[in-house]
Structure 1
């Protein structure tokens, strides 16, 4: 189900206008898609931040006149320090249509020790119903042993979803970490060489 948000249309733009919006605990956004003119909106801050925890959240944007639009989060801009949302790009969707979205990969379980699971592809691109976008793709690595590999074409997808990512893309591999020996400290090596030379000189 889409997250319903009460929004307003705005006609003031620029950095100053955006700062004023954020001071009121609201978020500036732009909605575009299907060949329509971009619609500049102001969204409620707290409710939008909660919805945006899902990077592919489906939103129902309700305007004061009762008109509403279905939209997917396309891009989230955040402040580099506070990580608060500063702007949203939204894409207009329609019921029944399919959209391409990047879905995060999440591992479930732990491989057989001492092996670890390495995620090679953090996301998979899927074509899915706009109203049925999954939050994540779960991959079970419980008790998997070294050498286990899972490619995109072998991932079990949600019903109705189609894989857009190349089927030969490696998603997860289970392997034993290789511990590299640290190079010998030069000063220690020189000291040992010097000690060795002194011993040789004494023996002579």
Structure 2
């Protein structure tokens, strides 16, 4: 649920950087969406906050900053989505390679102990959940607003729950179902509000982007 706080953080950052004003109703939509995520992910009870929760909160801040900055840098200029994605991945790899030493197990040691199945899972996560996800996010944020992108990203728990129910046969309670409906309601309402904003026409797709 904590990562979905990006839904609230991004509009605030967008207003700060672009000096724009979102309709108050948009925040109503974000509250509904966040409440839905809370019901969906915490239907079995709320857990006591811990260090992991703090790290996820920092990740939510990083996601909000990332979406807003990319949108800002993309204004009135062509950006190469593939090149930006490559830079992001190389930066992430460098940071994690250094940070892995703190755990006492370097990347080389972990890689040597991985099985073939583990390598297949790593490749899948790297290509589908990282490279593809980052590329699409950069491509999309230039064609809409950061607020709407984060609102849609906030539906991630919903799709995770759908996959869990269909494939893993996870149980879905009445509370969880109510949360899923609130997520759909909040995100769709926010999308409609954002589309009707006076400056929506100025965010039309920029022609001439590379590698698209």
TM-score, normalised relative to structure 2:
0.22
Higher normalized contact order (CA 8 Å, seq sep 6+, divided by chain length): 2
Larger radius of gyration: 1
More helix by share: 2
More strand by share: 1
TM-score, normalised relative to structure 1:
0.23
